Structure 1
Amino acid sequence: MDVKFDGKRALVTGAGKGIGRDTAKMLAQCGAEVFALSRTQEDLDSLKKEVPSIHTLCVDLGDRQASKVAIENIGAIDLLVNNAAIAALQPFLEVSHDQFTSMMDVNVRAVIEVSQIAARTMVARKCGGAIVNLSSQASLVALANHTVYCATKAAVDSVTRSMAMELGPHQIRVNAVNPTVVNTAMGLVGWADPKKADPMRARIPLGRFADPSDVVNVILFLLSDRSAMVNGVTLPIDGGFVASGI
């Protein structure tokens, strides 16, 4: 994508794998100073080998204090991508308290608290900024065995709108992207079985699941000045799944 982030400082959570990793690499390629956060040191080490300019932070967002210290130590942040999430699938009647608590903690609470830290640096410098939250098609439709995951992503959509309303006067734009199944290790957790994946794929008018680049390109657009009047949007990247109403 022909966008430039020269002079911008960007934080990407969940940057060890998949969409987060590719986003961090593309932001660096487009000129940003990138801080990549992951709970897995091995993933960060391999990312650093690929792109030596990227700064890496190994911290589990489930650890509130460690996360707060690590992110505050970054200093000024211009661009934030809240990508980190966990997905543990259970039938509704088997949903556990532990699953609910852990997924809400990382998928929702961490989005709020990381965004608070980043946004405070933007407000203090009076230079605006952009935040993109990774939501999901699962926030918009019901999916079997995804009760808690769907709930967390619906919460992310709501948080995104509230953030956009309150941070907008500070020229901080906040948007979310809502991908369909993405061809990453996490995205395929619940869709490896062709008996399950094929009917879902058949409901997508474009006839395929998303590739990571399909999502990354939209994230970069929403972070860039090319979307200067886009704020508070939850944008499906789903090949027409939701629009089709199938």
Structure 2
Amino acid sequence: MSKPIALVTGGAQGIGLASAKAIAENGARIVIADINAEGAESAAREIADDAVAYACDMGDPKQIAALFDKIETEVGPVSILVNNAGISLPSEFLETSLEDFQAVIDVNLTGTFLASQRAAQTMVAKGIKGAIVNMSSVNAVVSIPTILPYCASKGGVMQMTKAASLALAPHGIRVNAVGPGSIDTDMLASVNSNPEALKTLLSRTPLKRIGTAKEIGDVVAFLASDKASYITGETIYVDGGRLGMNYTC
């Protein structure tokens, strides 16, 4: 019996790599897509002998279409999609350029839509009862003024997850999302290196620690597996209890 094929975007490092490893442990063949071609190749080698890697800018619709063409021709149809690729371009609201706003939306929201749609089209055509897991954020619910485009994109991902789950439920395709809180990745490096910023962060995290990429990857793998067979349209927040508090700064 052939392995299910799982595509993880932004899978060269951090949460994407951790998700790919966890899904591989559940028996899937992993396809890594990342704008960093060398990093994607390295990640694939680290995961398994049958893992493969492709370079792709998830903010470019033509590259996304070409990515799926290559995967379906060279590997097979995707039955698990993890839309993890994402960027953040911090700036003050009054100084945020349209170009930066659009760049974040293109990768985080439009890229997630295009990849989900293309994967689902093939799943429906081939009768695959697959799973799509999107990467949202606690910033879909709470906001930070210096990352407005990121907050907007992740709120969009949360709502798109709900709508897509309804559209694809008749085909047996589940769509869920994970909303990380403060996780020990490159995106949080500036906070980790600043004692005052770290103190503030931990003050709004009831578990009083930063989460790990593996902790997110394990939840992604759960949602992608048959253990979550009756879960769709949900966003699971993995945030150390942060959203349960009544203040955010």
TM-score bucket of the superposed structures, by smaller chain: over 0.9
The equivalent residue for 1:207 is: 208
Task: Quote the offset at 1:214 in angstroms.
Answer: 1.1
Cα separation, 2, equivalents of 1:95 and 1:192: 25
Q: Does 1:58 align with 2:55?
A: yes
Aligned to 1:30: 26
Q: Distance in 2 between matches of 1:119 and 1:189?
A: 37
Distance 1:190 1:158 in 2: 28
- Distance in 2 (CA, whole Å) between partners of 1:141 and 1:148 is 13
More helix by share: 2
Q: 1:147 to 1:190 in 2, by over 3 A?
A: farther
Q: Which residue of 2 aligns with 1:180?
A: 181
Q: Does 1:49 align with 2:27?
A: no
Equivalents in 1 of 2:34, 2:27: separation in Å?
21
Equivalence for 2:82: 81
TM-score, normalised relative to structure 1? 0.93
Give percent identity, aligned residues only.
Answer: 34
Kept after mapping to 2: 8 A contact 1:6/1:31 = no
Q: CA RMSD in A?
A: 1.6
Deviates more, 1:148-157 or 1:194-203: 194-203
Residue 31 of structure 1 aligns to a residue in which SS? coil
Name the SS of the counterpart of 2:236 in structure 1.
Answer: strand
**1:108 matched residue in structure 2:** 109
Aligned length: 242
Structure 1 portions without partners, runs of 5+: none
| CA distance in structure 1 between the partners assigned to 2:26 and 2:188 by the alignment | 26
Q: Name stretches of at least 5 consecutive residues in structure 2 with no aligned partner.
A: none
Q: Output the amino acid matched with 1:121.
A: T
Q: Give the direction of change, closer, same or farther, for the CA distance of 1:220–1:118 in structure 2 (3 Å limit).
A: same
Q: For 1:28-79, what per-residue CA distance to the aligned partner results, in whole angstroms no more than 9, with x for missing partners? A: 2322111100011221232233233211011112222122112122121110
The one-letter code sitting in structure 2 at the alignment partner of 1:74 is I
Deviation at 1:6, TM superposition (A): 6.8
TM superposition shift of 1:17: 1.0
Contact 1:182–1:188 under 8 Å retained in 2: no
Task: Please tell me whether residue 21 in structure 1 is matched to residue 20 in structure 2.
Answer: no
State the TM-score, normalized to the length of structure 2. Answer: 0.92
Q: Is the 8 A contact 2:29 2:51 kept in 1?
A: yes
- Aligned-partner SS, 1:183: coil
Q: In structure 1, what residue type is equivalent to 2:226?
A: D
Query: Which secondary structure does the structure 1 equivalent of 2:17 belong to?
Result: helix
Corresponding position: 1:227 with 2:232: no
